[in-house]
Homo-oligomer: A and B are copies of this chain.
Amino acid sequence: MSILVVGTIALDTIETPWEKADQVLGGSATYISLAARPLVNPVGVTAVIGHDFPEEYTKLLQSNDLDLSGVQHIRDQDTFAWGGSYRENLNTRDTIFTHLNVLAGFRPVVPDKYVDSNVLCLGNLDPKIQSDALNQVSEKIFVACDTMNYWIQNTQVELKEIFQRIDCLVINDEEAHQITNEYNLFTAARRVLELGPDILIIKKGEHGAMLFVEEQIFVVPGFPLEYVQDPTGAGDAFLGAFAGSLAQQSYIGLDALKRGIIYGCTVASFCVEAMGPHKLNQLPITDIEERVRSFQGITQWGALHEQTGV
């Protein structure tokens, strides 16, 4: 039982209405792998960092027992850097800068050990890099893939090729609209599934997630939180925990997918409680399980009909 994560490791500059922090550990591979790790072992990370990547961050990732053997270290360039700013309701984010740096020339090399993983998480990346990674793994791997507005807009052909090769696409509602030009998510989902993926998950931030597979639908609301510090990485954390949960199952049917979404929403809810990925740092499985139970408690329907008699 193992999962392979191919994505980015970044140094982020994050601005919320209340604070600004830079050189925050970030990147899709960071969030995905940290989120998956309580649920599955080993988690192999295939990514790239630059000469300025702080040693303390390497130690943090190692202390979570992530397998970093697939992480390339480029000595003459900076790590991928991203800057974003959240507006007051935290649901809207503006990208302030994206400096690809080492990411520009990234050619992923999947360690042999992960060629036959249970699940491959393709974090948000240039579809050409995602394709490169797909070419290196077994056909039998379950592939869950994320993307973003930039690739949807600029690399439509490559992205559509990716859609034909993956099992599960995990995107948010804005991306669903951007791909299909539909606001109605049900309609958008139908159109996306026609493009290739067998399974589609639409993440709706604080409003939860929707699963579409073979005419089946599953919807789950967001886990309500009193305090949200930083939404960065929540979508990646969702993907990681979804994948980690799937990796535990011997058969990926509807129940396993539902479970994956529940764990995805749950771990994403931890992610947003701290700046960057810090809440995911060695997040105890017992905390996750407790919140899953709490989540079940607040979503469980009571008796629809009054009990009569004794």
Contact = CB atoms under 8 A, between A and B. Distances in A.
Report the contact-size class of chain A (Cβ under 8 Å from the partner).
Answer: 35 or more
Given A258-B301, A258-B302, A221 B208 contact: yes
Nearest to A219: B221
Given A207-B204, A250-B306, A298 B217 contact: yes
A258 B299 CA distance: 10
Given A258-B301, A262-B304, A221 B220 contact: yes
Interface string A208-219: 101000000111
Given A217-B298, A300-B301, 18 more contacts: A88-B183, A89-B183, A90-B183, A184-B225, A184-B227, A185-B224, A186-B224, A187-B226, A204-B207, A207-B207, A219-B299, A254-B302, A255-B302, A258-B301, A259-B303, A262-B301, A296-B301, A296-B304
Interface of A: 88-90, 183-187, 190, 204, 207-208, 210, 217-222, 224-228, 249-250, 254-255, 258-259, 262, 292, 296, 298-304, 306
16 contacts: A90-B183, A184-B226, A184-B228, A219-B221, A219-B222, A219-B224, A219-B298, A219-B299, A249-B306, A255-B302, A258-B301, A259-B301, A259-B302, A259-B304, A262-B301, A300-B301
Contacts of A185: 224
Contacts of A210: 221, 224
A254 to B, nearest CB: 6
A157 to B, nearest CB: 27
A204 B228 CA distance: 19
A220 B219 CA distance: 9
A68 B300 CA distance: 38
Contacts of A207: 204, 207-208, 221
